[in-house]
Structures are given as structure tokens and as C-alpha cells.
Amino acid sequence: MIGARIGDSSQDTLELVDVNIAADGSTSDVSCEERGVEEPCVGMEFESEDAAKKFYDEYARHTGFKMRIDQCRRSEVDKKIISRRLSCNKEGYYTKSKNQFGHIRKQHTSSRQGCNAMMLVRVNKFGKWVVTKFEKDHTHPLVLSTCLSVNEGDCKERRIQGLTAELKHQDGLIKFYREHLCMLLGEIEQQTEVLSTKIQVAVNNVREIETKEQK
């Protein structure tokens, strides 16, 4: 079960506090509970590795960073994954690499800033995935998504309204282009009839001239 603690007494209460960094550089304390998400802790259990990934990814989104699926360790017996490190996407530093000719590859923009925030989970003898290490602190400002800083339901509703308005706009454009296309086809048809009439008149005139010359 997600959120279970191992070896914690009822008196051992952690203060779940995070820092939201505003645009002007000021900070305000916002608890994970206020954001509606539980903070990881050593001893927390999950039913599977995927459940642990999903939990940490949700925690990351509500806290203001992106998760990176990091290193894993496999069993020497059956090669199954027995531990997984889940990190902040700014973990570590970019290292220059060389190609097969020894030339340094072109450096790409890297988001890594040496952040140590991470959660390490390991499978126990009961098949549960347990948090064995958790680093909370980041080395960079946390950027909370606008949709997560307000009620998510309201955010989704605004997105739906925006998409609906865009669809109506596109429908209006389709109707506009259809009407103009019909007008254009009508004009082409009229011009075709006029041209056909002129051609027929010209043919008749040529025939009359040929008839007169034969006489």
C-alpha cells in the first residue's frame, strides 16, 4: 500500500514543507499536504516498480521538477531489476564524449545542474518495493506548473473551453472556405459556358466562310 511506513511510531511526525520560489525571488512555504500529494519517506512501500515511478512522478509534478528514471540494479540470479533510482532531471552534470575517431562530440544544451534530489527503491523478500533512501533538497529553483498551482479541475475546464472555442473557430473557417469555393466554382462554370458559346460562334462563322468560298 502506498504511504505505509516501516518502523515509525505514531508520535514520529514529519513536517512536510516545500518551498515555492516566486518570480521576484521571494519564497513561500507550501506543504505537500496543501498540494494534495504525499512526500516520499524511507520505509514507504509500493506494490511494484511502476507504482513507485508513478508516485514519484506525481510528487515531482506537484513539487516543481521533472523525474528522471535513473540507474537500476539487477539480480545476479535471474537478471530481474531489484532496485531503481528515480532522480530529478537536473541530476548530475553533462560530460563531454568522444566519437570513434577521438573527436569531442558537439555539445548540446544540458539541463543537468548537479541536483542530488532522488528516491531509491528496492524490492524486499516479500516482493514489495521499499524506499531505502530519499533526498528532498534541490540545487535549483523549483518551477511549479500553473495548472498545479491552482485547482486542477478549473485548469482542465479552461483547457476544454479553449479547445472548444478553437474547434468552433476552425468550423467557422471551414464554412467560410466552403462558401467561397462554391462561389468560385460557380464563376468558373459561368465562364466555361460563355467560352463555349464564343467557340461555337467562331466555329459557325468559319463554316459559313468555307461554304461561301465553295460556292
Give the count of beta carbons closer than 10 Å to the beta carbon of residue 44.
24
Closest C-alpha among 124, 38, 54, 47 to residue 86: 54
3-state secondary structure 77-100: CCCCEEEEEEEECCECCCCCCECC
Estimate to the nearest angstrom the gap between the alpha carbon of 104 and the chain centroid.
31
Helices vs strands, H then E, count in the chain: 3, 7
Q: Quick check: pTM over 0.75?
A: no
Closest C-alpha among 53, 33, 44 to residue 2: 44
Q: Which residue has the cell 512555504?
A: 29
**Whole-number Å distance between alpha carbons of 196 and 203:** 10
pLDDT in tens, 28-53: 344 555 556 788 999 999 999 999 99
pLDDT value at residue 1: 42
Task: Write out the chain's pLDDT in tens, 215 residues.
Answer: 444 443 333 333 333 333 343 333 333 344 555 556 788 999 999 999 999 999 999 998 888 888 999 899 999 999 999 999 999 988 766 665 556 665 555 555 556 667 889 999 999 999 999 999 999 888 888 877 655 545 556 667 777 888 888 888 888 889 888 999 999 999 999 999 889 999 998 988 888 888 877 76
Closest C-alpha among 18, 3, 36 to residue 138: 18
**Whole-number Å distance between alpha carbons of 142 and 161:** 29
Strand order in the sheet with 81-88: 45-46, 129-135, 118-123, 81-88, 67-74
Q: Which residue has the cell 518570480?
A: 23
Residues 49 and 80: beta-carbon distance below 8 Å: no
